[in-house]
Amino acid sequence: MKRYLPFVIVAVVGLATVVTGTMLFRAKRPSVPISKNLTASEKPDADARHVRGEANAAVTLVEFGDFQCPPCGKLAAASDQIKEGYGSQLRVIFRHFPLHNHKHAQEAALASEAADLQGHFWEMHDLLYREQAAWNKADNPRALFATYAGTLGLDVDRFKSDMDGPEVKERVESDQKRGTALGITATPTIFINDVQIVPLPVDVAGVRAAIDSALKAKSPP
């Protein structure tokens, strides 16, 4: 048995090296866009409600996000960094995809839509992500959401009523159904000009690389 021990050790070390190398490769591998054949109604940006940027922008970024998702929060915190330098070339769209394992994600989505009914979706969107750590573990996040509504100058009583209304619920469910139809299972899921960025999780560098690639594809030869 001792005769074979050196060979066993070499084999084990070699296997460990291969596994480690594969893990490092995956960790360093940039996000790669994956194209799917979609009909007009299936496209991520079809009938978009929450849009930042010009309608004729060369690149449209669609995010399916969850307000309680930490990676979504990091992406939101870097949104200015992502948009920097693109100007009118970039349009950003947000769609809801609250995950079932996030206890307060659905309520947060409803809060953002209730704010939208008073014309302040993006302000609530930014505030929910900025204060994610505060309401994430709260026993009663709705109380905090109402406080945020007041901070934004909204009619708080109307805000509370709208959170329980059918319109905001339908909006969130509509986005979820679209995301499910597109095969989304995690957040943030990003599409650049209808092409999904993979693998997850998506980071700032991956998003910028995908935007740059889309702009290059749009440029005349």
Per residue in 5-52, pLDDT (tens digit) is 444 444 444 444 433 444 333 334 446 666 565 665 577 878 899 999
Q: What is the CATH number of domain 32-218?
A: 3.40.30.10
Is the preceding omega at residue 98 within 30 degrees of 0, hence cis?
Answer: no
- As a whole number of angstroms, the distance between CA 51 and CA 37 comes to 23
* Paired sense of beta strands 50-52 and 189-192, if any: unpaired
pTM metric for this prediction: 0.82
Per residue in 48-73, pLDDT (tens digit) is 999 999 999 999 999 999 999 999 99
* Nearby residues of 96 by Cβ (< 8 Å), 6 or more positions away: 64, 65, 66, 109, 112, 113, 171, 172, 175, 176
Domain borders along the chain are: 32-218
Average of per-residue pLDDT values in the chain: 85
